[in-house]
Amino acid sequence: MFQMHKFEEPLKTDLEELLGRFQRTNSVRYEDFSSIWRDMHFDEIFYGTKNQLEQSEFSRMALSAATPYFLPPYSFQIRVGGLYMLYALYHTQRSFPPRRIRMALKDWGDVQAFTQDALNSQHHDVLYILHQLLTIKAFRFTAMQVPLTFSRDQKPVIPEAEVVAEQSSRPKKLVTTEMLEEMANIHEHYKQLKTSVSAKHPEASLNLVRQNLVPKLFNAVVDFSTWQNSQMAGDKDGQPASYEEEPSTSSSLNQQMESSKRAELLASIKSRSYGQVVEVTKSRRHRQGEVCGDTTAGPCEDPGPQLDPARVSLLRRRRRQLNSLKCRTLSCLNETGKQTFLHTFYTVLCLGV
Amino acid sequence: MAESSADETGGENIPRFEPNYLNSQVIHVESFRKLWLDALPPDLYSYETNPEEVEDAKLAELLELPIETLNELKDICSVNSLRSHPDDSPVDQNVVPSDPKLACLRLRKRRQDYRETLVRDTIGRHENYSNELESAHKGLLPEDPTSVIPEGEIILSFNIIYPVIFDRFKHVRAHQTLQVLGSQKLTELRDAICCVGDLQVFGEFSNIPDATPQYISKDHFKSAFFYFEGVFYNDMRYPECRDISETIREWAKTHGFPEYKTAKMEDTTFYELRMKIGYPYYYCHQGDCEHVMVLTDIRLIHPDDCRDRTLYPLLTHKHRVITRKCCVCHLYISRWITTNDRLAPMDPCLFCDKCFRMFHYDAKGNKLYDFQAYVYVDPGVFN
Ligand SMILES: [Zn+2]
Ligand SMILES: [Zn+2]
């Protein structure tokens, strides 16, 4: 019973494997789901739990881990898979009385909208399963998805989907047109001040001012998002494509940039199911150097100190395979003396903008 | 609380994380309840479960399906569809299957194999106990029908953390969990919190060990307060109660804090509160016995829950505290603590009642030498 939390990661791995296989069927039929479930012997996940407490605790963890996939921002198909997973886990759990599924108030509207979608498309199996869970009172109607204890070891509860979504949009959100204008003004002002000081003290140099700061920052963000989109597009095909293919052409890049949030999030589900990314990064190290060097953008899911440290560590944990890539790229860029996204940001922070 | 208006609408009472992803924003408990009740058809939170035929008929109508088609659907979606082992080849569910593919099972198998190497299975006895507390009252109905909690009532869960007395225990964060109803008064929770601080007996009794008074500190010092979101809720039920938050409020005033409000614990129900879920608040009694308390959960009552109003606040978890045994027999729980006791192995020293008397008094009950003795209340008395 000790250290039940060690099951958190394996649970995620198993659920995402199941969901990944369901996703590849491009189906929302319960029959397709249950055949994958049986094929994986997923009901066995509860086997070997020793006593009532362990059974109860493991059920709680499994239901809690599956719940987010039933909710936005995941696509309809994934959410159907999430619902089927909840149904299946609920009915195969060994805990008695059964652990219930926690439904947070803020998510209920989304469940209603989901029901309406299923009704409009006449997905009878989806509606039956949801109806069945509701009538047997499988849900508890709560305030938050999990109880919150504020204890020393409580990790921030950040939905993975949100991590992925924020990861892609944060730099863009941060570097807006107004922000760039404002920064250009301040930069100009700073330069003038610097010049007036140097006039009085000729020994002081203007080297402290970074030339073309604003255009460079802008380019860095554009490059970063281009790089990121190509990463996402690679994941999306279910293959570590970005490492295997030549850098994408600009027209396909545009398409990829338009790739919806949905696709990015699906990628997040898959990213863990396809463990080969790690192997490929080892065998194709040189390729990454090329890709990253060309775009001049730091392929960092963690663009510096403006991120909440807790979140950064979470990202590090989740996407370890990309971190080593980041380190390599940074060192590679530093060698060539190119301006990196990170550098720019540190500069911005130093200027106090 | 005057400013808690029940007519509040909109999203502000839908609990969401604050940017720290550790606690929710401030919500008004009653408004939260109302939002849920407005959003749910009563069927979904009632204690009753409709018969399957009724529900089937309802669904068939909703889906505009003939009942035969619905039955086919039920067949496809039946729980049997989830069994990877056919019924005629039963498996032992207590054992991890050999050569498992699932990551969870591989981890559990490693543990199972390790456990088999142990001579004695020492795992988690006291944790079993704490779980019994929770399931003991499952779905319990009161004998008196007027004590049934109405459907749609709110249950709040509080973790009340024991004060850190010993530095070396500060990482344990021992706590008790109490479930309380939204319609209950704050004083009902206060009376349910068990803390040894309330059981202390004051005075030195080495000369009159048989004369320890029956009064405990709970009877002497009745003042206490909760602190939630800028308001001190004082227990003012008895004439001798004082507003013991005054010192803090006065201090805060001179140190640039915003002014804190006060309210009466006995006049306030949990419905009226505005609180953050998962945020540390404060309970103080006996003048300086301070407990951090966290509202860990708020939810609608479920058929699983105990429905007997009189059993709330309901203790659902209690940390088993290690009891301190007598230093002579190492067998019984200590009842006395002595100081300046030159024959004792340590100072202060703990004794059970029997050893204490044999060690310090002659057959006629005369004190054998000079020492001081105080009544000791072990934190384990609540186990
Ligand atoms: Zn206390
Ligand atoms: Zn003894």
Per-residue pLDDT tens over the stretch B258-309: 889 999 999 999 999 999 999 999 999 988 888 999 999 999 999 999 999 9
Cβ B326 vs Cβ B355: under 8 Å: yes
Confidence of residue A240 (pLDDT cuts 50, 70, 90): very low
What is the reported pLDDT for A232? 65
Please state the separation of Cα B308 from the chain's center in Å: 17
Give CA–CA dist B25/B18, Å, rounded: 6
pLDDT digits (tens, 9 = 90+) for A174-231: 777 778 888 888 888 887 887 777 776 655 555 666 777 788 888 888 888 777 777 6
The strand pair at B349-351 and B261-264 is best described as unpaired
Rg from Cα positions in chain A: 24
Residue contact A128–B77, C-beta within 8 A? yes
What is the reported pLDDT for B77? 95
Chain position carrying tokens 């250009």: A184
Residue B49 contacts A, CB cutoff 8 Å: yes
pLDDT digits (tens, 9 = 90+) for A80-96: 999 999 999 999 999 98
List the structure tokens of B379: 């934190």
- Mean pLDDT confidence for A20-30: 94
Residue B79 contacts A, CB cutoff 8 Å: yes
Residue B164 contacts A, CB cutoff 8 Å: no
Give CA–CA dist B377/B198, Å, rounded: 10
List the structure tokens of B187: 């004083």
**Does A171 or B315 have the greater pLDDT score?**
B315
What is the reported pLDDT for B194? 83
DSSP class of residue A26?
A: T
**DSSP-based three-state secondary structure for B206:** coil
- Nearest CB neighbour to B300, from listed A38, A141, A151: A141
C-alpha torsion angle, residues A63, A66, A71, A73 (rounded to 10): 150
Beta bridge partners of B180: B156
What is the reported pLDDT for B44? 95
Confidence of residue A280 (pLDDT cuts 50, 70, 90): very low
Residue contact B128–A154, C-beta within 8 A? no
What is the reported pLDDT for A102? 97
DSSP conformation letters of B226-282: EEETTEEEE---STT---TTHHHHHHHHTTTPPPPEEEEGGG-BGGG-EEETT-EEE
Residue contact B76–A125, C-beta within 8 A? yes
Within 102-131 of B, beta carbons closer than 8 Å to A belong to 102-109, 112, 123-124, 127-128, 131
Percentage of residues in chain A with pLDDT exceeding 90? Answer: 37
B163 C-alpha vs ligand 1 centroid, how far in Å?
A: 7
Is residue B175 pLDDT above 90, yes or no? no
What is the reported pLDDT for A196? 77
CB-based contacts of A256, cutoff 8 Å, min separation 6: A229, A230, A232, A233, A248
Percentage of residues in chain B with pLDDT exceeding 70? Answer: 89
Q: What residues in B contact A88, CB-CB < 8 Å?
A: 82
Q: Where are the alpha helices (DSSP H) in A159-284?
A: 160-174, 177-200, 213-236, 241-244, 250-258, 261-273, 276-283
Is residue B319 pLDDT above 80, yes or no? no
Give CA–CA dist B104/A12, Å, rounded: 9
Q: What residues in B contact A2, CB-CB < 8 Å?
A: 123-124
Is residue A349 pLDDT above 70, yes or no? no
Is residue B334 pLDDT above 70, yes or no? yes
- Written as one letter, the residue type at A350 is C
Residue B112 falls in which region: left (phi positive, over 0), alpha (psi -120 to 50) or beta: alpha
What is the reported pLDDT for A290? 31
- Write down the mean pLDDT value for chain B: 86
B361 C-alpha vs ligand 2 centroid, how far in Å?
A: 14
In whole angstroms, how far apart are CA A141 and each of A102, A134, A350, B89, B155?
6, 11, 48, 38, 11
**Ligand 1 is an ion; residues with CB less than 5 A from it:** B 195, 197, 289
Choice among A95-104, B119-128, B276-285 with the minimum mean pLDDT:
B119-128
Q: Which long-range contacts does B334-340 make (Cβ < 8 Å, 24+ apart)?
A: B334/B376, B334/B378, B335/B375, B335/B376, B336/B209, B336/B373, B336/B374, B336/B375, B336/B376, B337/B373, B337/B374, B337/B375, B337/B376, B338/B206, B338/B371, B338/B372, B338/B373, B338/B374, B339/B371, B339/B372, B339/B374, B340/B370, B340/B371, B340/B372
- Mean pLDDT confidence for B56-72: 92
Cβ A128 vs Cβ B67: under 8 Å: no
Cβ B186 vs Cβ B269: under 8 Å: yes
Choice among A44-53, A96-105, A160-169, A277-286 with the minimum mean pLDDT:
A277-286
Phi, psi of B256 (to 5 degrees): 75, 20
B166 C-alpha vs ligand 1 centroid, how far in Å?
A: 14
Please classify residue A219 by burial: count the beta carbons closer than 10 Å to its beta carbon, then call 0-12 exposed, 13-18 middle and 19+ buried.
middle
Q: What residues in B contact A139, CB-CB < 8 Å?
A: 44
CATH topology of domain B140-318: 3.10.290
Confidence of residue B59 (pLDDT cuts 50, 70, 90): very high
CA distance A41 to chain B (A): 5
Cβ B295 vs Cβ B41: under 8 Å: no
Give CA–CA dist A18/A9, Å, rounded: 14
A154 C-alpha vs ligand 1 centroid, how far in Å?
A: 24
Nearest ligand by distance to the CA of B325: 2
Interface with chain A: mutation pick from B101, B104, B138, B291, highest number of A CBs within 10 Å = B104
Q: What residues in B contact A151, CB-CB < 8 Å?
A: 173
Is residue B222 pLDDT above 70, yes or no? yes
Which range is most confident: A34-43, A157-166, A203-212? Answer: A34-43
Please state the separation of Cα A350 from the chain's center in Å: 29
List the structure tokens of B350: 């703990």
Residue B20 contacts A, CB cutoff 8 Å: yes
Domain ranges of chain B: 53-79, 140-318, 336-382
Rounded to the nearest 5 percent, the helix, strand and coil shares of chain A are 70, 0, 25
Give CA–CA dist B47/B153, Å, rounded: 11
Is residue A286 pLDDT above 50, yes or no? no
Give CA–CA dist B38/A107, Å, rounded: 14
Is residue A293 pLDDT above 50, yes or no? no
Cβ A225 vs Cβ A233: under 8 Å: no
Please classify residue B292 by burial: count the beta carbons closer than 10 Å to its beta carbon, then call 0-12 exposed, 13-18 middle and 19+ buried.
middle
CA distance B267 to chain A (A): 25
B372 C-alpha vs ligand 2 centroid, how far in Å?
A: 18
- Nearest CB neighbour to A45, from listed B24, B83, B105: B105
What is the reported pLDDT for A189? 83
In whole angstroms, how far apart are CA B323 and each of B129, B191, B217, B349, B350?
16, 23, 21, 14, 11
What is the reported pLDDT for A117? 94
Nearest ligand by distance to the CA of B331: 2
For A292-316, give the secondary structure using H, E and C.
Answer: HHHHCCCCCCCCCCCCCHHHHHHHH
Q: What residues in A contact B85, CB-CB < 8 Å?
A: 43
Is residue B248 pLDDT above 50, yes or no? yes
What is the reported pLDDT for A245? 36
Nearest ligand by distance to the CA of B286: 1
Give CA–CA dist B301/B299, Å, rounded: 6
Residue contact A129–B77, C-beta within 8 A? yes
What is the reported pLDDT for A348? 40
- Mean pLDDT confidence for A22-35: 95
Of B7, B54, B268, B48, nearest to B151 by C-alpha is B48
Nearest ligand by distance to the CA of B293: 1
Is residue A254 pLDDT above 50, yes or no? no
What is the reported pLDDT for B217? 73
Please state the separation of Cα B247 from the chain's center in Å: 29
Is residue B69 pLDDT above 70, yes or no? yes
